Amino acid sequence: MLLLNEKEIKSVVSMRDIVEADKTAFRMIANGTVEVPLRTGIKAPAHEGTFLFMPSYAASEAAAAVKIISVFPHNPEMGLEACPAQVLLLDGKTGYIVAMLDGSTVTRMRTGAASGAAFDILAKKDCRVGALIGTGGQAPEQLEAMLCVRKLEKVWVYSRNRERLEAFCEKMREELGQYGAEILPAENADQAVEDADLVITVTTSSVPVFDGTKIKPGCTISCVGTYEPEKHELDPAVLPRASKIICDFKDAVLSESGDLLIPLADGTIKDSDIQGSLGDVMDGRIKGRESDDEIIVFESVGVASQDLVAAKLIYEKALAAGAGTEW
Ligand SMILES: NC(=O)c1ccc[n+]([C@@H]2O[C@H](COP(=O)([O-])OP(=O)(O)OC[C@H]3O[C@@H](n4cnc5c(N)ncnc54)[C@H](O)[C@@H]3O)[C@@H](O)[C@H]2O)c1
């Protein structure tokens, strides 16, 4: 079994590689060629914790995977991550576990890559300005994914704590300087989005994080943060202006995300306004962007096939490069 930590993973794959892996994963889930049983959760009430097991299998990849991610909210009090995670990759022919990968890195990369894949497929070609709302754990890879699929001149970033916002922008300027975009702290979320061609929301907010009327024609919005039915970070005001609403996987989004469930329940949108899944666009079953003026909303909650395809690719590249530790 090969053990792969964050540094080793990042030394063998680029964000662009994972964007392509996510596209494969989204086509599989839309075509029904990957088995993704419901995730299993076991509670640890004494610690207010939950162990989550997310399995998947694809014959076409000759691989299965299980992501184990635990949510233990008191961990940070002990200086530990709140959501430690690992991905186990299994050989599809023998059932052997062939690799264990740092699950936080795989999650951050494949989640960023979902926005990257959506922008690559749904955004207009000529995008110059980006906006990123949220500067937490997922945010760096979201920003990189946005930068790697379109040549942006600047990205406005917003989060509520000014000091953390400025520190985040400073760090990103150092780490993502090769993309040549200015990375700037915005005064507020509305200022961040009003001139943007690409917008990402990646927050834990339970209420909308920007005014949807500020979104300009032609914008593509990727909503990443919401995963509970009663919470939403996307302002429903933008939805009637959007010509298309596309999901990473429509069934999953409609069981989890308040970004769409709340406006569906109050009649702001109807089910037929949600065209389908990104894989359906890739395979031509539904239309993607048809003009540069359309506003398109992409909603993702994450699917286990992303972990599977990303882990398989990372493993193969690590084998070829001799990276990682054999156990
Ligand atoms: N779609 C997916 O596949 C996927 C995968 C992983 C995580 N997530 C979700 O993404 C979200 C963000 O994850 P993270 O690890 O970056 O979280 P985090 O806790 O590290 O950061 C949360 C960020 O949200 C910001 N925020 C919270 N409320 C806000 C508000 N009202 N206005 C503006 N900003 C606000 C915080 O300031 C912070 O920057 C979580 O809800 C997580 O569950 C989604």
Task: Give me the phi and psi of 97, to 5 degrees please.
Answer: -75, 120
Does the Cβ of 138 fall within 6 Å of ligand 1? yes
Q: Which helix (H) or strand (E) holds 53?
A: strand 49-58
- Rounded to a whole number of angstroms, the CA Rg of the chain reads 19
Which residue's alpha carbon is nearest to atom 10 within ligand 1?
225
Q: How far is the CA of 138 from the centre of ligand 1 (A)?
A: 7
Which uninterrupted H or E stretch holds 111? helix 103-122
The response to whether residue 85 sits with its C-beta less than 6 Å from ligand 1 reads no
CATH topology of domain 2-106+305-326: ornithine cyclodeaminase, domain 1 (3.30.1780)
* Predicted TM-score of the model (pTM): 0.97
| Residue indicated by tokens 């993502």 | 176
- Interatomic CA distance for residues 97 and 256, integer angstroms: 30
Fold of 112-303: Rossmann fold (3.40.50)
CB 150 within 8 A of CB 119: yes
Pocket test of ligand 1: the residue of 203, 256, 260, 305 to mutate, having most ligand atoms within 8 Å of its CB, is 203
Ligand 1 atom index nearest CA of 189: 33
Please name the residue whose Cα sits nearest to atom 9 of ligand 1: 225
Domains 2-106+305-326 and 112-303 share a fold: no
| Pocket flag, ligand 1, residue 53 (CB < 6 Å) | no
Domain spans in the chain, listed from the N-terminal domain onward: 2-106+305-326, 112-303
Ligand 1, pocket-test mutation among 138, 207, 306, most atoms within 8 A of CB: 138
Beta bridge partners of 299: 223, 247
d(CA 206, CA 154): 28
- What is the pLDDT tens value at each position of the chain, 327 positions in all? 999 999 999 999 999 999 999 999 999 999 999 999 988 999 999 999 999 999 999 999 999 999 999 999 999 999 999 999 999 999 999 999 999 999 999 999 999 999 999 999 999 999 999 999 999 999 999 999 999 999 999 999 999 999 999 999 999 999 999 999 999 999 999 999 999 999 999 999 999 999 999 999 999 999 999 989 999 999 999 999 999 999 999 999 999 999 999 999 999 999 999 999 999 999 999 999 999 999 999 999 999 999 999 999 999 999 999 999 999
Beta carbon of 132 within 6 Å of any ligand 1 atom: no
- Summarised one tens digit per residue, pLDDT across range 189-222 is 999 999 999 999 999 999 999 999 999 999 999 9
**72 and 47 in contact (C-beta within 8 Å)?**
yes
Q: How far is the CA of 139 from the centre of ligand 1 (A)?
A: 8
Nearest CA owner, ligand 1 atom 26: 203
